[in-house]
Amino acid sequence: FASGSLVCTGAKKEADVKRAVYKLRDILLERGYAKPE
């Protein structure tokens, strides 16, 4: 993730991608790997 890029595969709809990205963000925040904006 050093470049800030992310690849999300297998999603059927754009909403599925957004949900997955937000879930990943929440996990990274909880574990201290990301800073809140």
Q: Give per-residue pLDDT as tens, 1-37.
A: 678 788 888 999 999 999 999 999 999 999 999 888 7
> For residue 28, which amino acid is it?
L
Give the range of the structural domain holding residue 35, as residue numbers without chain letter: 1-37
Q: Break the chain down into helix, strand, coil percent, rounded to 5.
A: 45, 0, 55
Say how many Å lie between the first and final Cα of the chain, rounded.
Answer: 17
The answer to whether the CB of 17 falls within 8 A of the CB of 11 is yes
Number of domains in the chain: 1
Tokens of 23: 């879930």
| Separation between Cα atoms, residue 16 and residue 9, nearest integer Å | 10
Look up the pTM and report it.
Answer: 0.72
